[in-house]
Chains A and B, each alone.
Chain A
């Protein structure tokens, strides 16, 4: 091919930089972690009848401490969530690795706390944790191959589309561009998506923009273009994480500040701040 055809700008290719090391957890490590968690919990349940009294009371100093440490560890996913959205981490996958390892340990600690008194509303927290593990595991281990196989599997862009579709998308683009002048005047619609910074600074505008973005994604059939599990696992995982966080905070607030309500007719034997 004559060079003219490849007459490149002087900077062509300059953007390529060697990527810094990106830590990751292989499928094998992830499987071992989950397997280890399961084995650990089963072993704990088998050993539990032979353990001293303190291991049978979720609020005992040891198990309450385990729950507190575990809960703190289970906050690591939120650090990951925050880190990847704020630019605080140059290599966000480091936080991913931390989130998986810390969460696994956290789940173990919270679980042995929970297994001591496996009943009542706190079960919802355990339920969330189980689903978080399942969705996370599916997303990373089971869906990696289908994710790779998505390459070359879509066809919508090469099929005729209804005449009105392009007009609707064009209208959305117009609205987004208009909103963007108020939300982030320096940004280009073509490359823009709402960030945490925008949500904090202008939540209503951000919400309006996000609704338009979602509408465009719907019209272009983004999530419908892949199997439902692949389309929705991550959203479900995030929703579960938020549900877990709310439930955890509620549980912590109740046992700390309203121990009498939590204990009902029972004994308030755990560390707390509120009256009984």
Chain B
């Protein structure tokens, strides 16, 4: 029986999780491959495919016949047909590498011998599947007897790729992309080959898997336990937990040996995940064992930014910080301390330990990354639905039952690969349609039936036009609107009166009028349409109104409060909230300087509206915040900057004190804000490196110096106890106890859980249900119990800011075409209290300005800024700066890149892989060009996450190009997506 892998090109999303799993399973180092996912673009048209390559276990293996050793170092098992290499017999001559026409023979460049896929013989011996097939988020890799796989493919009506050009009889099977699926009339790739998949006309981007860049991954970069013998990597314990990196919150297993993590895998016991996990989770292994981790408190010796530090003890560090904080408070008040905690810090820290500290200290200036990620969608959902997200779940019965998936500004395949894998699986199984609206042919778009390349920042115009057509043609769900929507008629009258028609939207969005009508009709007709939105919508100055408009669109088509239909924007975070007793909270006398921490820069630089003299920050503001030049100026002006982090980064260089933190299984915490209300618990199972400490420990110890230890108690250093005692005092969370979390082998439960015995709710807000914690018959958790488009109260809140509850189109200030934008009202206007902000904060009211001669875009265009800059998430192996310390992520995607259309590149004389400069009026950054037809010709894309101090491939952050003042007036969310720039070849 010939064993084989079957790889589905329709499913593969190029995330390289299989590569990560293979290297971890076999302890492979840099350059050493048993498999690889090859990214393939098209030379002259939009297109993206991924070829997962490993040994084909040929019937006539060219490698075996080329091996000059006798008996052969390569053999083909007569029973399983698996071709293996006996590394002890290999002399490293490389003849097999030359001979294999698939390029699927690996080579160990350190120990000089062939390496190859043997379909994980050790795992098979234990009855397990190969590692690659186990982790694949997209279920693109199936393993089994070749005949069974062929039967399965035939049963599904799938065509096989003919890749036997040389009659070698490859056993692995590649399934062609789908071309004639039911209901599918147009594909994202309009020119899919008639004769099947071929590499002809395809090209590999120079910026991915660049062998020339591996020189930096010298053997010294390889950390425990890679390149160790299998016996040295054999775990003595396996504990369940979760990944704490992204919103997918994947259930994982931590494999431990002698108190160290030797492997991170998916949790196959989970009935939904079944072991699927993306590369990031697996890179946690390199995070825990990295030699670049901070292990001792450090005190600055040189000038800010110089990077000279001396190690000190914890007591000295905390005593000195406390003394300096006390002096600042005495001189400037408690609000002079700002606290920024990004998501690396952990939910428990942000919503628990720091929140308690800030309440007792008395500063209103505590912010996390919401103003860069989600605040506009939070505000939109809370105003409309009553909670900051959708009530749906990634289950076959809920999101899996939709007929239509529309992605707008959401590259889910790269940002949450496992969730996208689920959606894509359901799409394929159910014959659902997928449509992607994005300026780029993202990986998500490459899987879609239809890709609509929209102009950045104009999704609101599209959403308005979709609604216009639906309402104008009477395609809406009238019963749902009448029963469950307040103000829908006002909104209908508003958009009809404004003339937000498809004809109006077409020149704004760059999408043909008929395509808009078609999409509207498809959404209206679908029995279950899920509209996904994400950062591509949130990170604009119109983020709140765009999100509201899409919520309205989903509602009028009956796609709210049902299974298989919703507007979904990174789901609903569970309300983890710790509160100090009222009596222990310090009085906060001044308003927050701004919801968005970049609104604090003036307070740091010039004391406006009051001085901010100290900042305790986690993460990496000197990369992640927009307007990097301004952030540097502000940080230089501080009296005290404390940086709590895992690695030294650009922010560390400016810090007075660097405190080494712990993460994940080193401290015990919950995962990130999961997309579908799941809370996943991660037990502490290993010690942090050196003298690093959990964030909670640091805040408790600092709190002791101010007498906060009656609330931030010593025993709360036990994160599990802290969770039960302080973090779940909310009607949604009371049943989410440690006991409940530990009652399932996958360590997660879905909230709301009103008590420990409450059943999990798959879909919230179904007809006939009552929202948790709300009066009877309140189906939605709004004051009215209905979805609220427009009410007088709501309109008054928007009116305070100069806007209307009925969204009026405007976009970001820097556009290539003349479009309305928002600007602060005239100089005589006074700040108003922002009625949408969670805290007490003032903001300037705005006005929607016409694109007249004063428009900043026109001035910039006159200066030669002729291109729209889009920023966003890099491919799946990277997540902000976390993964830039993992050598394997660097091997996959080493360099900052700029995606640029071939026509523009040709005009500028830019080659693929060439270094170029991208400039805005605020500065410039270097990046390598990725010539890519799958991007609008007038736009370029530069990903986030790189910083100039990273160990392998440092590049300046893209946020040297962005602006801190271009923010959504409602949510204070930063515009990170639309800036005018120019590209200059180097």
Contacts and interface: CB of A to CB of B under 8 A. Distances in A.
Contacts of B109: 144-145, 147-148
Nearest to A91: B88
A9 B124 CA distance: 10
A11 B149 CA distance: 20
A86 B106 CA distance: 25
A154 B100 contact: yes
B209 A15 contact: no
Interface in A22-76: 22, 24, 26-27
A230 interface: yes
Interface in A139-171: 139-140, 143-161, 165-166, 169-170
Contacts of A96: 91-92
B1 A9 contact: yes
B519 interface: no
A86 B111 CA distance: 23
Given A154-B101, A190-B59, A222-B62, A8 B53 contact: no
B194 to A, nearest CB: 12
Contact of B107 (A13, A24, A147, A234): A147
B142 interface: yes
Contacts of A21: 88
Given A7-B145, A8-B127, A173-B167, A26 B64 contact: no
A154 B121 CA distance: 26
Given A157-B166, A220-B166, A15 B65 contact: no
B549 to A, nearest CB: 41
A26 B110 CA distance: 7
Contacts of B69: 84-85, 92
Contacts of A93: 88, 90-92, 113
A226 B98 contact: yes
B487 interface: no
Given A5-B143, A11-B79, A160-B195, A144 B165 contact: no
Contacts of B209: 152
Contact of B53 (A90, A152, A192, A223): A152
Interface string B666-704: 000000000000000000000000000000000000000
A13 B123 contact: yes
Nearest to A144: B109
A239 interface: no
Indicate the size class of the contact surface on chain A. 35 or more
Contacts of A159: 165, 198-200
A9 B121 CA distance: 12
Nearest to B29: A148
A93 B62 CA distance: 22
Interface stretch (B70-78, B331-339, B737-745): B70-78
Contact of B101 (A190, A213, A220): A220
Contacts of B494: none
Contacts of B200: 159-160
A193 B66 contact: yes
Contact of A85 (B70, B101, B126, B142): B70
B97 interface: yes
Nearest to B197: A158
B724 interface: no
Contacts of A197: 70
Nearest to B203: A155
A21 B88 CA distance: 7
A76 to B, nearest CB: 14
B124 A8 contact: yes
Given A24-B112, A158-B198, A150 B80 contact: no
A6 interface: yes
B204 to A, nearest CB: 8
Given A13-B121, A16-B125, A234-B94, A151 B105 contact: yes
A148 B198 contact: no
Contact of A5 (B51, B108, B144, B197): B144
Interface of B: 1, 3, 31-33, 36, 38, 51, 53, 59-62, 64-71, 73, 75-77, 79-80, 82, 84, 86-95, 97-113, 118, 121-127, 129, 133, 142-145, 148-149, 152, 161, 163-170, 195, 197-200, 209, 211, 214-215, 230, 274
Interface of A: 1, 4-9, 11-16, 18-22, 24, 26-27, 80, 84-87, 90-93, 96, 139-140, 143-161, 165-166, 169-170, 173, 189-193, 195-197, 213, 217, 219-223, 225-226, 230-231, 234
Given A12-B3, A150-B105, A151-B107, 12 more contacts: A4-B148, A6-B127, A15-B121, A148-B107, A152-B53, A157-B163, A166-B166, A190-B169, A197-B70, A217-B62, A217-B99, A222-B99
